[in-house]
Amino acid sequence: MVARSGEFDLIARHFAPIAKRDPAALSLKDDAAVFSPPPGCEVVVTTDALVADVHFRNIDTPETIAQKVLRVNLSDLAAMGAVPGGVVLTTGYNRDLPEDWIARFARSFGEDCATFSVSLLGGDTVGTPGPTFFSLTAFGYVPAGRALRRDQARPGDVLAVTGTLGDAALGLSVLTDAFPGLDELSKKFLSDRYWVPQPRLTTSQACMARNARLAAMDLSDGLAGDCRKICDASGVGMTFNLADIPVSEAAKAVLADDPACWNQILGGGDDYELLIAGGPDDIAALGDQVTVIGTVTNQTGEVLLKDLDGKMAELAPGGFDHFK
């Protein structure tokens, strides 16, 4: 076990300075934080755990891990239409991690909190002989009764996504030395997409500005699996057009060499893009923030994919599941 400061010294040195930005944290000197939501708002709460060599690679930098820990939770808030408020962070550091690693993690975490105007309100810090892990709970605010929900999709709705799909899954493959013929710029783009998610908070608030019936969720475990969560909640089916799925130039280069990588793009995780269902006019109002990729049907639970040859087939569930 490496020598480093004790729990309370670590908190005081590396995390209390972040918490000082918000008086609700009480400088991390009390047992809990105290805060109220803005008038007329409800509190949206989400939590995610990230474990070394499950959600991030143990050899990844503390800077990118810190960004991922925060941003995957902000993506959940975006999916609900919430404006981020504060977070509570639990950290479990492997006993062999040096304090410099923790300092770099905290510095990056604090910078990202400032980027997204998020307050650190508290948490817990432990050491463990096992893998390093993090659990972050995020609080956001949404006008009362107006949270974006998965149960609001209706037959005839248009389906749209933000950004491009599959980059993170391909990026993880790049980091395991797949695609040796891919150019270096494409490799960097894809690996960056794996390391640092981009929570679509701006598009989320554009959805809220419509004040319309919209269903939304973030794609953390792959389109093929995640889309069924909206189907189940809303009692609908979906049809997607493969030709309309937005892919980056780097992903196109991968597909040109190996079209079978479509399976990775549709079923891989870590996209953290938004899947949105709504009326055609409401989706069109989002402009170039989204790409239309399909429609909602009345065939409950049925998810179909029209391939590049125009043939229709069921889209296999795929997606990441911790218990499979």
Write down the pLDDT at residue 2.
52
244 is in an annotated binding site: no
Strands, sheet with 41-51, edge to edge from the N-terminal-most edge strand: 41-51, 133-143, 83-94, 119-128
H/E stretch holding 162 reads strand 158-162
For position 318, what pLDDT does the model report?
Answer: 72
What is the domain class of 157-314 according to CATH?
alpha beta
**The pLDDT value given to residue 4:** 52
Burial of 5 (0-12, 13-18, 19+ CB in 10 A): middle
- Every domain range in the chain assigned CATH 3.30.1330.10: 7-143
Is position 220 annotated in a ligand binding site?
yes
Question: 14 among the known binding-site residues?
Answer: no
What confidence category does residue 21 fall into, taking pLDDT thresholds of 50, 70 and 90?
confident
pLDDT-based confidence at residue 140 (cuts at 50, 70, 90) = very high
Residues of each domain in the chain carrying CATH 3.90.650.10:
157-314
- Is 179 annotated as a binding-site member? no
DSSP state letter for 60: S
- State pLDDT tens for residues 74-115: 999 999 999 999 999 999 999 999 999 999 999 999 999 999
Q: Annotation-wise, does 218 bind a ligand?
A: yes
Please give the average per-residue pLDDT across 9-14, as a whole number. Answer: 87
Q: Determine if residue 55 is labeled as part of a ligand binding site.
A: yes
Q: Please check the confidence at residue 154 and state whether its pLDDT lies above 90.
A: yes
Residue 323 confidence (pLDDT): 40
**In this structure, how many other beta carbons lie within 10 angstroms of the beta carbon of residue 116?**
14
Question: Does 46 count as an annotated binding residue?
Answer: yes
The band of 5, judged by pLDDT with boundaries at 50, 70 and 90, is low
What percentage of the chain carries pLDDT values higher than 70?
Answer: 97
Range in 2-6, 132-136, 259-263, 271-275 with the lowest mean pLDDT: 2-6
Q: Which residue, among 167, 207, 162, has the nearest Cα to 187 in the 3D structure?
A: 167
Q: What pLDDT is recorded for position 7?
A: 75
Question: Is residue 221 annotated as involved in ligand binding?
Answer: yes
48 in a known ligand binding site = yes
Instruction: Report the predicted TM-score, pTM, of the whole model to 2 decimal places.
Output: 0.94
Q: Are 305 and 313 in contact (CB under 8 A)?
A: yes
- Whether residue 196 contacts residue 280, with contact meaning beta carbons closer than 8 Å, is answered with no
Whether 20 has a pLDDT exceeding 60, the answer reads: yes
40 marked among binding-site residues: no
Specify the pLDDT at position 12: 87
Amino acid at 324: K
Q: What is the pLDDT of residues 186-217, one digit of tens each?
A: 999 999 999 999 999 999 999 999 999 999 99
Task: Quote the mean pLDDT of the chain.
Answer: 94
- Is domain 7-143 classified as CATH 3.40.50.620? no
Residue 136, beta-bridge partner list: 48, 89
Stretch 170-183: mean pLDDT, rounded?
Answer: 96
Residue 1: per-residue pLDDT: 43
Alpha helical stretches, state H, 80-146: 99-115
